[in-house]
């Protein structure tokens, strides 16, 4: 056998990817499997846990076949996963009791409204706003509304977990029930100060403590594979939420590093020297964890980024909606004074206004669809800027640059506009699968392929650099217009983020 490989699984919302990563920390093989999102007549957003597992089986089989074809052995598995999606299954049979409630689903908004008087306590202990995004409300809804889950709870046969826990239980086949601290930090049930499940929060949401997984650091032993052909006894040595894994994969590990992942939504994360005091406009979270230390961070989530571009393309009845919008936008030099605020699901960080709704403003007779397309792309950059500036204020430091990853970063015009609006460089990673790479690097540390973080820093510097070119007066005028557009959609009464 030649030098070993790490199989990194990146289980996302619309697809599952697999990478084989070598000792240079680079991917040598990629494959993916598409996934469906289930939308119910009630407007709920779900995913089939078995479909998630089958997608992992499919990409793993392809990776095993490739490793075998080049005479390489797979030494470890690593998992990066979509966060907050809530799954419930039977401890005795291992079978799901319902479809998973997607992170995108707002069905628990009424539960969050019911608990609104505890919102300050919730945010102080978890670092999160009391919002329907968190897994706790999704599990509470399932327990309150699904008889099969109620019966499993009454029999002490209920297991609740995020996608990492579900996949680990399937991979190991031994009844293992584990989650890492990054995924736990997004459930709304973990106390950030002591890094343990919080019994008061369990009681608040009606979540049985025994149904939840044991807590582990991101890099460590999560069990050995027993359920995938060709991977028998291969250890699972890392599990981490996808946004956190992407932060790690950028290879910047010092406080003040900040990244934005441009996907369906957008997620910004900024590393902090320690756990910062409570801040109402941003989430406090764990970037990653290891036996020796836990790295804390600020985070801001934007519900509609790439999905806003997709929505506009569908609204205009374009073939290949997202690509068509990008092409349209490239035909004009700017948005011509048009602003599109994609608040169709409310506003996320740093505004947290669930009752805000989308708007298009500044339209004149001469405007054509291309200007609206450009406004949709600009809106992605404006929303990122809102969070970026809020993070600088909360952290009390000026960020030197923005690290960028995700599918939309391939649009160089968007990246240049982002640098212009921020007034600082944007460093676009050339690695398209940073979440999988970050997870693989964590497993590699556990394998002792790499002894320290500095060894990984040089591997994360494969970037394209975008320097700000816009004059300060123009930048201020454009951003002031955005702030006015945001103010115009704000509701008089703030609600729970859906």
Domains and CATH numbers, the chain: 2-242 (3.30.420.40)
Q: Is 233 exposed, middle or buried (0-12, 13-18, 19+ CB in 10 A)?
A: exposed
Please count the other Cβ atoms lying within 10 Å of the Cβ belonging to residue 423: 14
- Cα atoms in the Cβ-side hemisphere of radius 13 Å centred on 118: 16
Judged by phi (left if over 0) then psi (alpha if -120 to 50, else beta), residue 313 lies in alpha
Q: What is the pLDDT of residues 383-426, one digit of tens each?
A: 999 999 999 999 999 999 999 998 889 999 999 999 999 999 99
Decide if pLDDT at 26 tops 90: no
The pTM of this model reads: 0.89
Please name which of 141, 139, 118 lies closest in space to residue 129, comparing C-alpha atoms.
118
pLDDT at 497: 41
pLDDT bin (cut points 50, 70, 90) of residue 190 is very high
35 SS3 class: coil
Taking the C-alpha atoms of residue 87 and residue 85, their distance in angstroms, rounded to an integer, is 7
pLDDT bin (cut points 50, 70, 90) of residue 492 is low
Query: Angle at the Cα of 55 (from 20 to 77), degrees rounded to 5?
Result: 35
pLDDT at 106: 86
Q: What is the pLDDT of residues 47-103, one digit of tens each?
A: 999 999 999 999 999 999 999 999 999 999 999 999 999 999 999 999 999 999 998
Decide if pLDDT at 491 tops 70: yes
Q: Which two tokens stand for residue 423?
A: 């007034």
Please name which of 100, 436, 424 lies closest in space to residue 243, comparing C-alpha atoms.
436
Decide if pLDDT at 362 tops 50: yes
Taking the C-alpha atoms of residue 205 and residue 188, their distance in angstroms, rounded to an integer, is 10
Residue 250 near residue 429, CB atoms below 8 Å: yes
Q: Which residue has the tokens 């479909």?
A: 51
Q: What is the DSSP letter of 459?
A: G
Q: Which residue has the tokens 């957008």?
A: 266
DSSP 405-465: ESGGGG-HHHHHHHHHHHTS-EEEES-TTHHHHHHHHHHHHHTTSS-SHHHHHGGG--EEE
Decide if pLDDT at 276 tops 80: yes
Taking the C-alpha atoms of residue 387 and residue 161, their distance in angstroms, rounded to an integer, is 29
Q: What is the pLDDT of residues 203-260, one digit of tens each?
A: 999 999 899 999 999 999 999 999 888 999 999 999 999 999 999 999 999 999 999 9
Q: Which two tokens stand for residue 125?
A: 């202990």
Report the chain's C-alpha Rg in angstroms.
22
Taking the C-alpha atoms of residue 329 and residue 334, their distance in angstroms, rounded to an integer, is 8
Q: Which two tokens stand for residue 439?
A: 């997870």
Residue 455 near residue 433, CB atoms below 8 Å: no
Residues 6+ apart with CB under 8 A from 152: 88, 90, 91, 97, 158
Q: What is the pLDDT of residues 300-310, one digit of tens each?
A: 988 888 889 98
Q: Which two tokens stand for residue 183?
A: 């995924």
CA dihedral (274, 161, 149, 15) positive or negative: positive
Q: What is the pLDDT of residues 136-161, one digit of tens each?
A: 999 999 999 999 999 999 999 999 99
Angle between helices 369-395 and 412-422 in degrees, nearest 10: 50
Please count the other Cβ atoms lying within 10 Å of the Cβ belonging to residue 392: 18
Decide if pLDDT at 493 tops 60: no
Please name which of 159, 138, 163, 168 lies closest in space to residue 210, comparing C-alpha atoms.
159
Please name which of 191, 405, 198 lies closest in space to residue 286, comparing C-alpha atoms.
191
Work out the percent of the chain whose per-residue pLDDT is above 90.
78
Residue 81 near residue 11, CB atoms below 8 Å: yes
Taking the C-alpha atoms of residue 310 and residue 476, their distance in angstroms, rounded to an integer, is 28
Taking the C-alpha atoms of residue 435 and residue 21, their distance in angstroms, rounded to an integer, is 12
Decide if pLDDT at 338 tops 60: yes
Q: Where are the beta strands (DSSP E) in 335-484?
A: 339-341, 359-361, 402-405, 426-429, 463-466
Q: What is the pLDDT of residues 435-472, one digit of tens each?
A: 999 999 999 999 999 988 888 887 767 899 999 999 99
């Amino acid at each position: 056998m030649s030098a070993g490989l790490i199989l990194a699984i990146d289980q996302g919302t619309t697809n599952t990817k697999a990478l084989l990563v070598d000792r240079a920390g680079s991917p040598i093989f990629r494959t993916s499997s598409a996934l469906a999102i289930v939308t119910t007549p009630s407007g709920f957003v779900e995913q089939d846990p078995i479909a998630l597992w089958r997608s992992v089986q499919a990409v793993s089989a392809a990776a095993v076949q490739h490793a075998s074809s080049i005479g390489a052995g797979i030494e470890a598995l690593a998992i990066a996963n979509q966060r907050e999606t809530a799954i419930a299954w039977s401890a005795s049979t291992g079978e799901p009791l319902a479809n998973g409630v997607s992170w995108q689903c707002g069905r628990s908004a009424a539960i969050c409204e019911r608990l609104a008087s505890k919102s300050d306590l919730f945010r102080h202990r978890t670092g999160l706003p009391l919002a329907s995004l968190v897994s706790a409300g999704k599990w509470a809804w399932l327990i309150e509304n699904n008889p099969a889950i109620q019966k499993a709870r009454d029999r002490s046969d209920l297991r609740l977990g995020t996608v990492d826990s579900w996949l680990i239980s399937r991979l190991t086949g031994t009844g293992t029930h584990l989650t890492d601290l990054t995924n736990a930090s997004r459930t709304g049930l973990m106390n950030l100060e002591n890094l343990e499940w919080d019994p008061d929060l369990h009681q608040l949401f009606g979540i049985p403590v025994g149904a939840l997984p044991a807590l582990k650091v991101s890099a460590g032993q999560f069990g050995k594979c027993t359920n995938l052909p060709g991977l028998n006894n291969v250890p699972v040595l890392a599990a981490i939420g996808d946004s956190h894994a992407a932060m790690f994969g950028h290879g910047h590990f010092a406080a003040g590093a900040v990244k934005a992942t441009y996907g369906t939504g957008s997620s910004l994360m900024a590393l902090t020297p320690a756990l910062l005091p409570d801040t109402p406009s941003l989430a406090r979270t764990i970037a990653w964890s290891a036996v020796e230390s836990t790295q804390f961070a600020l985070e801001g989530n934007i519900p509609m980024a790439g999905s806003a571009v997709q929505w506009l393309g569908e609204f205009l009845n374009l073939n290949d909606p997202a690509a068509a919008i990008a092409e349209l936008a490239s035909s004009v030099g700017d948005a011509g004074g048009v602003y599109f605020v994609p608040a169709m699901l409310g506003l996320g960080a740093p505004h947290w206004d669930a009752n805000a709704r989308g708007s298009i403003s500044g339209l004149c007779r001469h405007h054509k669809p291309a200007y609206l397309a450009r406004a949709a792309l600009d809106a992605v950059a404006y929303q990122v800027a809102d969070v970026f500036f809020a993070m600088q204020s909360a952290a009390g430091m000026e960020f030197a640059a923005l690290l960028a990853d995700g599918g939309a970063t391939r649009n160089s015009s968007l990246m240049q506009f982002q640098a212009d609006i921020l007034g600082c460089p944007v460093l676009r990673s050339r690695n398209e699968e940073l979440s999988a790479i970050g997870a693989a690097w964590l497993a590699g540390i556990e394998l002792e392929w790499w002894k320290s973080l500095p060894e990984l820093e040089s591997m994360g510097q494969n970037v394209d650099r975008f320097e700000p070119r816009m004059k300060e007066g123009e930048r201020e005028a454009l951003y002031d217009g955005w702030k006015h557009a945001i103010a115009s959609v704000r509701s008089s009464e703030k609600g729970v983020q859906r």
